[in-house]
Amino acid sequence: MTISQAHKRYEFKRQLEEMRRKTGRGTELISLYIPYDKQISDVVAQLRNEHGQAANIKSKSTRTNVQSALESVLARLKYYPKPPENGFVIFCGTLDIDGHRTTLDTRIIEPHEPITSYKYHCDSSFYLDPLEEMLTDKKTFGLLVIDRREATVGLLRGKSIEVRKHLTSSVPGKQRKGGQSARRFQQLRLIAIHDFYKRIGNSASEIFLTIDHKDFEGVLIGGPSPTKEEFLEGEFFHHEIQKKIIGLFDIAYTDESGLYELMDAASDSLQDLEIVKQKKIMQRFMRELVSDNGLVAYGDSQVRANLEMGAVDVLLVSEDLRQVRMTITCQNCDYTRKETRQEIPDSFEERCPSCSSDLKITDAVDVVDELVGVCDQMGTSVEFISTDFEEGDQLMRAFGGVAAILRYDAGV
């Protein structure tokens, strides 16, 4: 994943978290999924119809809430002569704020992946399943299980296996028929094995080359020894595929069930791929920290100071970091300062240290967005670190969710 992909994914995940917390009454919250090829005029017609039917709702407050939500959605649709590239989703409805107050909220999400089907959904919470589905794992692995008699080629996507091709060989058994010379027999046998490997290599390469480049993680090969090793050394794969081999695994079966056996055998290495990468970088951070050579920083203010000086080589950001960076400005003089907080305070009352006038929060941005922006300008790379492993969890708990490996000791 590139920085911007990782960052987009992070933002998207956060947006969904926020939407999941919102609740309303009855069936007052509207979720409207509009795919790329849907006519906006058809959507408008349906919503006008719903608006008409809502007039029959007995409870006055429900009726008003539903109709206002529909009006708000209709108003937003005016800005879309046609749906954007991946379609879009409108969430709208009267939300409970604190049990007493309510507010009409309308939000539009244009996802990074296409919306595949139209949906108009009303409930007491927003319908998020199709968007949450976009966050699931789409990593794809090529699978090959092989012995000298049989081979099966498949794909592993997320957690599901797809069988793509089954091949059998005409390689003669080890027992030669009467009348054949031992040498001749052995020669024919080797030729047959070689031909079979070639067929397997061609079929598997053809299938694996169709995998979308950005989702293609690599190839796993399973089978008895030394067949799989022999196959790999013979370089029977297309050269692009040969480069993608992750590992060889000992398994007993080479039919469809062999693919499942291969997935199980490899599962530890697979789960660990991304985590291993993150773990390595966290371990590098820990090593530098322990050696006390001034080449690490952690916590919001220390990291920022180094970042602004261009001293940061890699910025480590916890995936669980949720903070805001506020700009606080005096309404009277030119006093201004920036401050990081867990969230924007409900009420803010503070006096200016130089003129005693009221201070106000004039800007608030998400800390991660802001840090990633600074990194882009400074040519600093960013690694998002999950809390699913010990060192990652420590980054969040012990180091304030943000840390840095430095290019040099900037003395701040």
Q: Which residues sit at the interface with Zn ion, rule CB under 5 A?
A: 330, 332-333, 335, 352, 355, 357
Across 110-244, the runs of DSSP E, i.e. the strands, are 119-123, 140-146, 150-157, 160-168, 216-223
Q: How far apart are CA 316 and CA 279, in angstroms?
A: 11
User: Which pair of structure tokens corresponds to residue 208?
Assistant: 């694996």
At closest approach, how far in Å is the CB of 340 from Zn ion? Answer: 22
Give yes or no for a contact between 119 and 130, defined as CB atoms under 8 angstroms apart.
Answer: yes
User: Which pair of structure tokens corresponds to residue 390?
Assistant: 């010990």
Judged by CB, which is closer to Zn ion: 138, or 360? 360
At closest approach, how far in Å is the CB of 354 from Zn ion? Answer: 5
Judged by CB, which is closer to Zn ion: 25, or 360? 360
Judged by CB, which is closer to Zn ion: 185, or 335? 335
Judged by CB, which is closer to Zn ion: 165, or 360? 360
Judged by CB, which is closer to Zn ion: 20, or 337? 337
At closest approach, how far in Å is the CB of 44 from Zn ion? Answer: 51
- Is the backbone of residue 250 left (phi > 0), alpha (psi -120 to 50) or beta? beta
User: Which pair of structure tokens corresponds to residue 74?
Assistant: 């209709």
Contacts of 22 (CB under 8 A, 6+ apart): 29, 91, 95, 105, 125, 126
At closest approach, how far in Å is the CB of 324 from Zn ion? Answer: 22
Judged by CB, which is closer to Zn ion: 262, or 330? 330
At closest approach, how far in Å is the CB of 357 from Zn ion? Answer: 5
At closest approach, how far in Å is the CB of 275 from Zn ion? Answer: 49
Judged by CB, which is closer to Zn ion: 359, or 382? 359
At closest approach, how far in Å is the CB of 333 from Zn ion? Answer: 3
Contacts of 127 (CB under 8 A, 6+ apart): 31, 119, 121
Judged by CB, which is closer to Zn ion: 268, or 334? 334
Q: How far apart are CA 50 and CA 54, in angstroms?
A: 6
Give yes or no for a contact between 26 and 94, defined as CB atoms under 8 angstroms apart.
Answer: no
At closest approach, how far in Å is the CB of 326 from Zn ion? Answer: 17
At closest approach, how far in Å is the CB of 351 from Zn ion? Answer: 8
Judged by CB, which is closer to Zn ion: 316, or 352? 352
What does the angle CA 173 – CA 176 – CA 178 come to, to the nearest 5 degrees? 150
The length of the chain in residues reads: 412
Alpha helices in 22-105 (DSSP H): 40-54, 60-77
DSSP track, 379-402: T-EEEEE-SSSHHHHHHHHHSTTE
At closest approach, how far in Å is the CB of 292 from Zn ion? Answer: 41
User: Which pair of structure tokens corresponds to residue 327?
Assistant: 């700009």
Structure-token match 């503070």, residue found? 350
Judged by CB, which is closer to Zn ion: 271, or 357? 357
Q: 311: exposed, middle or buried (C-beta count within 10 Å: 0-12, 13-18, 19+)? A: buried
